[in-house]
Amino acid sequence: MNGKQTPPRSAAASFAPRRKRLAAHFREHKWTYFLSALSLAAMWGIWAAAYFAVGNDYVVASFSDTVRALGVLLGEGSFWRAFGFTLLRTLAGWLLAFAFAVLFAAASAASKKFRIFFAPFISVFRTLPTMAIALMLMIWSDPRVAPVIVSFLMLFPVTYAQLMAAYGGIDGKLFEMARVYGVSRKDVLWRIAVPGMLPAVFSQAGANLSLSLKVTVSAEVLVSTLHSLGSMMQNASMNVQIARMFALTLLALLVGGLFAFALGFLKRITRRWQGGEGA
Amino acid sequence: MKKFLICAVAVCMLAFGALAFTACDEGENEGAVTLVNIANPSTGISAAADFDYMVAAEPVVSAKVKGTASAPEGSRLVVVGNLQELYGEGGYPQAVVVVKNSLIQSDPALVASFAEAIAASCAWVNEGSVDIAAVVDAVSSHRGGADPTFSAANLTAQVIENCAIGYTSAAESKEDVTAFLSKLAGVGTQKQVSEGFFYTSAQSAADASDASAVIDVVMPDGAPALSMAKLLADEAQFGCTVRYSVVAPTAIQTYVTGNDPAAEICVMPVNAAANLLGDGSNYRMIATVTHGNIYFLSAKHPGLQLTKENLSELAGKRVGCIQLENVVGQTLRAVLKDGGVEYKIAE
């Protein structure tokens, strides 16, 4: 101890380490940011090239008209209502698919017989064309619920397959150890198998949610769901409001990208989960 | 690596071959009209589409014309023909009202009451002064969570007029329906109806004899629902419990088929009614309520109005048509056949 007292830190001084950390982060990832920006610029370039090549505002809207239409949309109450409901349906389909996939994957992990019995069902779910069930959905369910069902049918086999692939990747020695030490089947399932499968699904959560959004909007168009982005797109197309249709599409793309970005943080949780416990 | 490359090349050649096969034209009958199905009217009806003419229904027709009104020539869609006029004076019977035989037998006075109310509804919706918002609200409030075909944005008095809504009793429209179905049979596999399909009995109208009765009235969204708008707006109950449902057009047949069909009264396309119910054993027709709402659009030939006399102008042209295998396409084919214009259907 030298008797010196640490002077109070100024606000600027307290932010200095954070600025340094940010600067270090950008230096470390400069190529990632540059290439991502380049990619976005390339997409914008393709759009601009298509616009000038087609030369018809009633086929390809300009970027400026689209942005203007987006501004108009964001000011409409009906748009936010439709957007909210579409997001709810997207989340519902995704969560239901996730929950059921975990349940069925756990059952398949616990029982080889069940896994073999269930495999043909997964094949059917995977290849069933939506149009084939659209009529049944129109009769047996509400147009507001049908997109959730369609999204579930699309995501369930995908999530199940991801879980089962992850299950196949679990170290077999863990199961051998569990057998040797007489660990109960329930504990093997919920303490080894499921924790081993979930990280793979979490890492795909963003992509799955984006897919759910895409499928939900398509289904909303198919069954003409009231208060939905799908029906807004359908109406925009019907009324030849191309810029508005492009704006709705751009919005869906942005939201999908946001999902993928936001849920990408789940990878950090699973990395900690896999590396942290018992270490 | 070599095997992989050979497989990849083989797959690419197969894919290309399949694509080329689907894209190539038959090459036969060059002077015929090429009919192409338009699966989705909102995207398929477009000035940029590879069609000389497009056949569509209201409200899509008016929406597309309005939407492209300020477009340059060549990109502007205009109405160049009326399928109803090309068929014949007064159009053709498009949607009919069918009633379950059990209801006819148990309460014919109630059926007469419904018939009168439907006639009044058709007259009401055709009044120039009708409240459009009330019509839209009447239909959309019974659409059960789906976006209705007609909205405040696309329903106008002109669109209602273009839908040719009008009540014609079974007795008055029997001949027209039979003739229309015969023409459809001449271009496709359309069943004919028996004499017993038409309910022509004249009864005095009265409310339900059984106040506890529950009557389900089902109709497809679109022009048929407009014809019933007054009943929907008033939630007319006729002394019993009447439940109204506006459903997706593709699902309408499910309400009149099966062991215990759900609908006591149903509005449906005449061709579907004939195919499913034509023997009159379960349902009988009491009226026709719409007489065609199909029009020709064109961006490439805006100056030529199609008439029966110049129908040959379609020779060699590509015509996109909604529901090509259903009543719209069959009616178009019947009109072309009557006009001596050959056609072929693009696969």
Q: Which of A 21-60 lie inside 8 A of B, CB atoms?
A: 56-59
Is A143's CB within 8 Å of B145's CB? yes
> Which segments in chain A show pLDDT lower than 70?
1-15, 135, 266-279
In angstroms, the separation between the Cα of residue A249 and the nearest Cα of chain B is 14
Is A59's CB within 8 Å of B46's CB? yes
Closest CB to B147: pick one of A56, A58, A226: A226
Residue B302 near residue B79 (C-beta atoms within 8 A): no
What pLDDT, on the 0 to 100 scale, is given for residue A147?
A: 93
- Write down which residue in B244, B263, B290 finishes a domain: B290
Same domain flag for B233 and B281? yes
Establish if B2 belongs to a structural domain: no
Establish if B45 belongs to a structural domain: yes
pLDDT digits (tens, 9 = 90+) for B228-248: 999 999 999 999 999 999 999
Same domain flag for B166 and B228? yes
Full-model pTM: 0.82
Residue B300 near residue B73 (C-beta atoms within 8 A): no
What pLDDT, on the 0 to 100 scale, is given for residue A2?
A: 47
- This model of the complex carries an ipTM of 0.75
What does the alpha-carbon distance between residue A89 and residue A86 come to, in Å, rounded to a whole number? 5
Q: Which of B 205-264 lie inside 8 A of A, CB atoms?
A: 247-248, 250-251, 254
The CATH number corresponding to A63-276 among 3.30.2350.10, 2.70.98.30, 1.10.3720.10, 3.40.50.300 equals 1.10.3720.10
pLDDT digits (tens, 9 = 90+) for B133-149: 999 999 999 999 899 99
> Which chain A residues contact residue B144 at CB under 8 A?
142-143
Q: By CA distance, what is B47's nearest residue in A?
A: A58
Q: How confident is the model at residue B212 (pLDDT cuts 50, 70, 90)?
A: very high
Is B67's CB within 8 Å of A241's CB? yes
Q: Which of A8-17, B60-69, B72-81, B256-265 has the lowest mean pLDDT?
A: A8-17
Contact status of B74 with chain A (Cβ, < 8 Å): no
The gap from C-alpha A181 to its chain's centroid, in whole angstroms, comes to 39
Same domain flag for B123 and B137? yes
Contact status of B303 with chain A (Cβ, < 8 Å): no
Asked whether the CA dihedral B319, B323, B326, B331 is positive or negative, the reply is: negative
Same domain flag for B252 and B275? yes
- In sequence order, what E strands does A135-252 have? none
Q: How confident is the model at residue B28 (pLDDT cuts 50, 70, 90)?
A: low
Residue in A131, A224, A227, A238 to test binding to B, most B beta-carbons within 10 Å: A238
pLDDT digits (tens, 9 = 90+) for B85-101: 999 988 999 999 999 99
The gap from C-alpha B97 to its chain's centroid, in whole angstroms, comes to 14
What pLDDT, on the 0 to 100 scale, is given for residue A168?
A: 84
Same domain flag for B125 and B256? yes
Same domain flag for B280 and B313? no
> Which chain B residues contact residue A60 at CB under 8 A?
none
Establish if B20 belongs to a structural domain: no
Where exactly are the structural domains of chain A?
A: 13-54, 63-276
Share of chain B above pLDDT 90, in %: 80
Label residue B292 left, alpha or beta by phi (over 0 means left) and psi (-120 to 50 means alpha).
left
The gap from C-alpha A126 to its chain's centroid, in whole angstroms, comes to 18
What pLDDT, on the 0 to 100 scale, is given for residue A99?
A: 93
What pLDDT, on the 0 to 100 scale, is given for residue A267?
A: 66
Residues B76-86, mean pLDDT to the nearest whole number = 96
Report the number of distinct structural domains present in chain B: 2
Same domain flag for B125 and B46? no
What pLDDT, on the 0 to 100 scale, is given for residue A20?
A: 83
Q: Which of A 164-203 lie inside 8 A of B, CB atoms?
A: none
| B50, HSE (Cβ side, Cα atoms, 13 Å) | 5
SS3 content of chain A, % helix, strand, coil (to 5): 80, 0, 20
Establish if B138 belongs to a structural domain: yes
Contact status of A141 with chain B (Cβ, < 8 Å): no
Radius of gyration of chain A (CA): 25
Domain of residue B210: give its range. Answer: 95-290
In angstroms, the separation between the Cα of residue B310 and the nearest Cα of chain A is 30
Q: Which of A4-18, A109-123, B116-130, B265-279 has the lowest mean pLDDT?
A: A4-18
Same domain flag for B160 and B58? no
- Write down which residue in B250, B270, B290 finishes a domain: B290
Closest CB to A143: pick one of B42, B43, B146: B146
What pLDDT, on the 0 to 100 scale, is given for residue B228?
A: 97
Closest CB to A239: pick one of B63, B145, B248: B63
Establish if B122 belongs to a structural domain: yes
What pLDDT, on the 0 to 100 scale, is given for residue B162?
A: 96
Is A225's CB within 8 Å of B71's CB? no
Q: Which residues of B183-197 are buried (b: 16+ CB within 10 A; e: fewer)?
A: bbbebeebeebeeeb
Q: By CA distance, what is B70's nearest residue in A?
A: A58
> Which chain B residues contact residue A237 at CB under 8 A?
42-43
Same domain flag for B42 and B120? no
Residue B327, C-beta contacts closer than 8 angstroms, at least 6 positions apart? B94, B184, B269, B270, B271, B272
Same domain flag for B275 and B193? yes
Establish if B53 belongs to a structural domain: yes
pLDDT digits (tens, 9 = 90+) for B294-346: 999 999 999 999 999 999 999 999 999 999 988 899 999 999 999 999 999 98
Same domain flag for B256 and B300? no
Same domain flag for B257 and B213? yes
What pLDDT, on the 0 to 100 scale, is given for residue A1?
A: 44
- Write down which residue in B290, B311, B327 finishes a domain: B290
Question: Between A13 and B257, whose confidence is greater?
Answer: B257
